[in-house]
């Protein structure tokens, strides 16, 4: 499973709840207002992002990316059309929350030194490789498990579980 896209690049320490989104503008934590989340996505860090991001773009970011994230952070990225996130580092909770809505996040030390804004990057989840066509460089990342690949392929945990449960019922 390979994902190719144009890169939006961010630095270190981008907070999820007050960086990628703005927690103070979330009125109801029990629902997702996708248009509002898309409109605020990265507005605090790069105001061009919500205006110019297109479906299939990738996010490359530095260390401790998306620390302090409610699930709405991942929904904002997904609603913006982001196809994958490649970071120097992040916590496991962010990886799971993103995976569960079908957004793969990979930890790839060295990626920010390799890729420039708006270059193309390729992420191979199955093989565990991030490829940078401009330089020809390949960086190893931890391959996704079969289950994680299944969740990405299904478009998220809920459609994945739906497939599993409906298969059991028949």
Partner 1 sequence: MGHSIAQKIIARAAGRERVGVGEYVNVSPDYTCCQEIYWPIHKRHMQQIGVSRIARPEKVVMVVDHTTTAAMGSPYHRIHRELRDFARQSGLENFFGPGTGLRHLVLTERGFARPGMLVFSDEPNIASIGALGALNVPVSWEVVATLIGDENWVAVPKSARIELKGAFPFGVLVRDLAQVINRDHGNTDRLLQTCVEYAGAISSLSLDDRQSLLACAFHAGADTSVMQVDETALDYVSQRAAGRPYFVFEADPDAQYSFRATYDLQALSPMVTVPPGMNTVVGVEELRGTRVDQATIGSCASNRLDDLRAAAAILKGRRISRHVTMYISPGSREVYAAAAREGLLEIFIDAGATVLAPGCNTCWGYLGVLNDNQVSISTHQFNFQGRNGSRSARVNLAGPYVVAASAVAGSIVDPRPLLAERAESP
For residue 71, give both structure tokens.
Answer: 């699930």
Strand order in the sheet with 105-107: 105-107, 84-87, 58-61, 2-9, 120-124, 129-132, 137-140
For residue 133, give both structure tokens.
Answer: 């066509």
Classify residue 149 by burial, with Cβ atoms within 10 Å: 0-12, 13-18, 19+: middle
Among 6, 38, 68, 131, binds partner 1 (CB under 8 A): 68
Q: How far is the CB of 167 from partner 1 (least distance, A)?
A: 11
Q: How far is the CB of 82 from partner 1 (least distance, A)?
A: 18
Residue 165: phi, psi to the nearest 5?
-70, -35
17 binds partner 1 (CB under 8 A): yes
- C-beta closer to partner 1: residue 58 or 98: 98
33 binds partner 1 (CB under 8 A): no
Distances (CA, A) of 88 to 12, 50, 65: 8, 23, 8
C-alpha to C-alpha distance for 84 and 58, rounded to whole angstroms: 5
96 binds partner 1 (CB under 8 A): yes
Residue count at the site for partner 1 (CB under 8 A)?
40
Q: Which residues, 6 or more positions from 87, have their beta carbon under 8 angstroms from its beta carbon?
A: 60, 61, 62, 63, 65, 66, 105, 106, 107, 108, 111
91 binds partner 1 (CB under 8 A): yes
127 binds partner 1 (CB under 8 A): no
131 binds partner 1 (CB under 8 A): no
- C-beta closer to partner 1: residue 57 or 88: 88
Among 50, 71, 81, 128, binds partner 1 (CB under 8 A): 71
List of residues contacting partner 1 (CB under 8 A): 12-13, 15, 17-18, 22-25, 28-31, 63-64, 67-68, 71, 88-93, 96-97, 100, 107, 142, 145, 147-148, 157-159, 161-162, 165-166, 169
């Amino acid at each position: 499973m390979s994902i190719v896209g144009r890169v939006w690049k961010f630095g270190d320490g981008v907070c999820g709840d007050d960086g990628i989104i703005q927690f103070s503008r979330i009125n109801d934590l029990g629902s997702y207002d996708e248009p509002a989340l898309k409109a605020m996505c990265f507005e605090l860090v790069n105001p061009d992002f919500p205006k110019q991001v297109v479906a299939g773009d990738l996010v490359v970011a530095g260390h401790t990316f998306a620390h302090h994230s409610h699930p709405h952070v991942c929904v904002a990225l997904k609603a913006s059309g982001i196809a994958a996130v490649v970071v120097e580092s992040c916590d496991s909770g962010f990886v799971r929350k993103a995976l569960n809505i079908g957004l793969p996040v990979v930890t790839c030390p060295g990626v920010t030194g390799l890729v420039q804004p708006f270059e193309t990057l390729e992420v191979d989840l199955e093989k565990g490789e991030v490829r940078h066509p401009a330089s020809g460089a390949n960086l190893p990342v931890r391959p996704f498990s079969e289950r994680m690949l299944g969740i990405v392929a299904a478009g998220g945990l809920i459609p994945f579980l739906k497939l599993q449960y409906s298969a059991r019922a028949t």
